[in-house]
Amino acid sequence: METKWIEDFLSVAETLNFSRSAKLRNMTQPAFSRRIRALESWLGAELFDRAVYPTRLTSAGETFLVHAREMLSQAIHSRSVLRGQAADVQSVVSFAMPHTLSLTYFPWWLNEVEASVGTMAVRMVATNVHDSVMELVGGNCDLLMCYHHAFQSVELDAQRYEGLKLGLEFIRPYSKADASGKPVHRLPGTAARPVPFLSYSSSASLGRIVDKILGDGPEQVHLFRRFEGDLAEGLKMMAVHGHGVAWLPESAARREVKEGILVLAADAPANGEAPGASSWCGVMDIRIYRDRSNRRPAVERIWNHLLRANA
């Protein structure tokens, strides 16, 4: 059995959709289905009832789900022990989150939390949204921090996981500023002179949110795909060097905006107006999740602090 088979199985157990899980795992559906079949062949039992929609676990699948989570958790823990990283594990709080949050929001948030609960030892796994969720589902982290958008939501079993809203994050189009502080590239562009577009890859969750923002805009935006990348930080650096317009979480661009390097590539909303279609902007929640069964003292202190802050 291969570890990636277990990760594939856990993904379908969460989404109950082979197509969606294949996309999240960056695979074609036929290749993904073959890996699930290989796992079922190895176990000698069918794990999913494919005769119904949405797909659901068979009784064998329900049984294996418990073992799969434990197996994946033990594999990760064993690797940590062998690498000398598991010493005093009870004192370390582990987080999983997308790269952008790990670079922008999390350092500030940690200062705020530690001011109330005290300094703590932290381990972070920064990866894409899907793999961050899988870290929590597989029992490999204590807390998951992620963006949540109505068009690109994180769906977890509410009976097993609990979540809290930490704040809001705006996503806006940014361009390099010229000598007069105006955007070098300005939306919406024209058919004759389209705006160079610094886009996220098709597998990136922020990319799907940007597509939604563009689709809901007040008028057609004329773009040509100048560059594609997975990470907001990479797109930001391309925008800083004048290569086009990038939709970035506001926190990721805050320093460059303050220094006058980047500016909005579209008109900002009027005072009191919510950022939206008028400026091709969007808004996302920043949320945090934990497994309800995780009652480690350090995690409890953080969670109780967040409950008080939300109240």
- Per-residue pLDDT tens listing for the chain (311 residues): 678 888 888 888 888 888 888 888 888 888 999 999 999 998 888 999 888 877 889 999 888 888 888 787 777 666 655 655 544 445 689 999 988 899 889 999 999 998 888 888 899 998 888 888 889 988 889 999 999 887 677 788 888 999 999 999 999 999 999 999 999 999 989 999 999 999 998 777 788 889 888 888 778 899 999 999 888 989 999 999 999 999 999 989 999 999 999 999 986 555 545 444 357 888 999 999 999 998 888 899 899 999 988 87
- List the structure tokens of 77: 């823990």
- Domains (ranges, CATH) in the chain? 1-84 (1.10.10.10), 169-284 (3.40.190.10)
Contact 74, 66 (CB under 8 A): no
Cα–Cα distance between 20 and 54 in angstroms, integer?
12
Which tokens in the block code for residue 184? 């070098």
Closest of 279, 282, 303, 283 to residue 291, by C-alpha? 303
Structure token digits, residue 250: 């506001």
Contact 234, 226 (CB under 8 A): no
> In DSSP terms, which residues pair with 225 in a beta bridge?
197
pTM of the model: 0.65
